[in-house]
Every structure is written in C-alpha cells, then in structure tokens.
C-alpha cells in the first residue's frame, strides 16, 4: 500500500511541476481571445470597503427512509456595515440563530434524492437573499457558491421536481431584478471550484486539462485576477442559462488571488458593474488570513448556517413517532448484526 501511495505522490508532483511550467509559459504569452472581456491577467484594485456588505449561506442535513426522504435546513445572512475602513455594525436575517425548516418527499428515485437536496437548499438561500436585499439594501450581496444553479441541480423535465425547479428559477430572476433596480452588486463566491471555463477559453493556447483553480493557482500571483469572461460560451445551449433567459447571458466569471498562500477564488457576477471594483472589494474582504482567502462576512454566515446533527436526529424521532410503523428505515440502516 505504501509503495502505491508513494508512486501516486510522485505522479502528482510530476504533473504539478509540468503545470507550473505551462502556466508560466501562458502567462508570458498573455494570449487574448474573443471570449475575454479584459486582458488575461489584471491587477486587483485596492478597494476600501464602505457601506453594507451582506452574505448568504445555508446548511442542510438529510435522511433517506423506505419510501420517504427527509431534509432539514436553514439559511441565514450576515450583514456587516463598514465605515472609515472599520467594521461599525452587524445584523442578521432572519436572526443570528434561525430555526431549521423541514421537508419530506415521497416516491423519489436515486437521482431525484440529490435534486431534492439541492433545490431545497437553494430555495432557502435565494429566498433569504431576496429578503436580505429588501430589508437591508446592502451595497454588496454575496452568495456562498455559484450565483446561478448548477447543471446538476436541474431535474429532468419529466421529474415531479421540475416544477419546484421552475419556481426556484423565478426566485433567482426576482433576486437579479431587484438587485439591479436597487443598485446592489450581487456576486457568487465559490471557495472550491471545479469549473473549467477558463481552461476552455485558453484551450487553443495550452494542452492542460484540469480545473481552472488548479492551473490558475500557478499562473496568478498575489494581488492579481483573471480578466472577466462569460459564464458560458453559448448560454442558449446551456439548459440553466436558457431557463434564466436574458439573465443567463449576463453572468460573468473571474478568478482572484487575494493572498499568496491560498488558491484563487472563483467569483461570478452580473454585467453592468465595474469588474475591477467588485473584485477589489471581495479581495479586500478576503485578506484576513494569509492561508485562507475568503470574505469575513461569508465566513460568519457559514458558521451560523452550520447544521447540528442533533437537529436531524430530533426530526427523525418526531417523524417516526407521528408516522408510526408505516415509516420504515432503509435496510442498510437497520442491520441487526452490525
């Protein structure tokens, strides 16, 4: 076993070294394609944060049963108000310690279980984002993760969950519209992206095939970002972007490296805002730790949205008590011999 792991580690180091050299070559060439809205590498602006910055995050737990599926979750937003380069006040929506919501679905197949979890979480988060935008009117509103649903979150059109998905899409459109009218800068910040959009854009200039953040970690230096690109090369052929209509064509992507010892952050936002200003504010808020680049307001929202496993256990006991013997556990969870 140790020999196999040693060979694997050597292979990883070899590939990483090759990518480092290739990233340096691409950086030096600084190619520009039609899909790049800016130069390949742009210095991050040093933007001092003033006004209100809100961030939304959610957490869920789930439990599969025989014929039924339970999800428990909550979403919360943290709002930090800055003035003179310092944090002046903070508030939360709906409150600092929200109660969880519950939902039970019956008759889901294996694929639908994952769709159900994703839709439940996204609905909690986007509903909270709309409420936060209306109640607090922040200058910036950050979502933990993508600013749009992922392709894997979209149920097939013959699924009973597709109607829930369409309702979610309308909620996204409501959020986009309100933020646009209220002058709120909306952005999604992905901490561990596996996206390959930048590698797709650079496809003619490098043969590397890896996640954007892996390659860009070598190419970007501290205090730099990639130029913005469209979220999709063809929004009309991307199912989720097509569902979002005109909004789908307005989503842009950039990667920033606020600190030297951490990987780049993927940032998604709607056009119409100053790319440099948006990225500069996010970078400024993400420099609190040299080894961990993430906005402090999102870290706070993440901690408050974290679910306690005891909340799921209480929900399971209550549901079992009310449903009685008709509600059976999965066989793998009720083995009498292990």
277-312: pLDDT as tens digits: 889 999 999 988 888 999 999 999 999 999 988 887
**Residue 45: helix, strand or coil by DSSP?**
coil
9-21: pLDDT as tens digits: 999 999 999 999 9
Distant-in-sequence contacts of 171-175, Cβ < 8 A, 24+ apart? 171/123, 171/126, 171/127, 171/130, 172/126, 172/148, 172/244, 172/247, 173/244, 173/245, 173/247, 174/130, 175/126, 175/129, 175/130, 175/133
Tell me yes or no: is domain 37-64+73-97+113-306 CATH 3.30.2170: yes
pLDDT at 271: 79
- Number of other residues whose CB lies within 10 A of the CB of residue 281: 24
pLDDT at 310: 86
pLDDT at 140: 95
Quote the tokens at residue 102.
Answer: 């519950």
pLDDT at 221: 95
Contacts of 15 (CB under 8 A, 6+ apart): none
- Distance (Å) of CA 29 to CA 26, 72, 227: 5, 50, 15
pLDDT at 93: 96
Q: Which residues of 126-153 are buried (b: 16+ CB within 10 A; e: fewer)?
A: bbbbbebbeebbbbbbbbbbbbbbeeeb
pLDDT at 40: 94
pLDDT at 330: 47
How does pLDDT run along the chain (338 residues), one tens digit per residue?
788 998 999 999 999 999 999 999 999 999 988 889 899 999 998 777 889 999 999 999 988 766 778 899 999 999 999 988 788 999 999 999 999 998 888 888 889 999 999 999 999 999 999 999 999 999 999 999 999 999 999 999 999 999 999 999 999 999 999 999 999 999 999 988 999 999 999 988 998 899 999 999 999 999 999 999 999 988 888 999 999 999 999 999 999 999 999 999 999 998 766 788 889 999 999 988 888 999 999 999 999 999 988 887 887 777 666 565 555 554 455 555 55
pLDDT at 148: 97
pLDDT at 202: 93
**Residue 293: helix, strand or coil by DSSP?**
coil
**pTM exceeds 0.85:** yes
- Number of other residues whose CB lies within 10 A of the CB of residue 290: 12
Give residue limits of the domains in the chain: 1-30, 37-64+73-97+113-306
239-254: pLDDT as tens digits: 999 999 999 999 999 9
């Amino acid at each position: 076993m140790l020999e196999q792991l040693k060979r694997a580690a050597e292979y990883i180091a070899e590939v990483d070294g090759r990518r480092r050299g290739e990233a340096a070559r691409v950086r030096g060439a600084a190619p520009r394609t039609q899909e790049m809205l800016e130069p390949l590498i742009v210095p991050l602006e040093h933007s001092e944060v003033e006004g209100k910055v809100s961030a939304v995050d959610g957490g869920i737990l789930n439990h599969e049963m025989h014929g039924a599926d339970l999800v428990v979750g909550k979403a919360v937003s943290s709002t930090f108000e800055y003035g003179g380069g310092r944090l002046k006040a903070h508030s939360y929506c709906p409150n600092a310690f929200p109660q969880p919501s519950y939902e039970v679905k019956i008759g889901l197949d294996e694929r639908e279980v994952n769709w159900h979890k994703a839709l439940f979480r996204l609905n909690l988060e986007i509903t909270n984002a709309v409420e936060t935008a209306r109640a607090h009117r922040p200058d910036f509103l950050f979502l933990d993760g993508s600013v749009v649903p992922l392709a894997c979150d979209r149920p097939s059109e013959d699924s009973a969950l597709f109607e829930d998905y369409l309702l979610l899409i309308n909620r996204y459109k409501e959020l986009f519209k309100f933020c646009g009218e209220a002058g709120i800068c909306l952005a999604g910040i992905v901490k561990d992206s596996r996206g390959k959009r930048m590698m797709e854009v650079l496809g003619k200039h490098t043969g590397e095939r890896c996640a954007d953040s892996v390659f860009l970690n070598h190419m970007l230096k501290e205090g730099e970002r990639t130029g913005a690109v469209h979220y999709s090369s063809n929004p009309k052929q991307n199912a989720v972007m097509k569902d979002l209509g005109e909004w789908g064509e307005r989503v842009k992507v950039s990667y920033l490296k606020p600190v030297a010892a951490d990987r780049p952050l993927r940032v998604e936002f709607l056009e119409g805002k100053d790319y440099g200003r948006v990225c500069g504010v996010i970078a400024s808020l993400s420099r609190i730790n040299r080894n961990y680049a993430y906005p402090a307001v999102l870290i706070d929202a993440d901690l408050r949205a974290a679910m306690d496993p005891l909340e799921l256990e209480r929900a399971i006991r209550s549901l079992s008590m009310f449903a009685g013997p008709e509600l059976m556990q999965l066989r793998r969870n009720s083995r009498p011999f292990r």
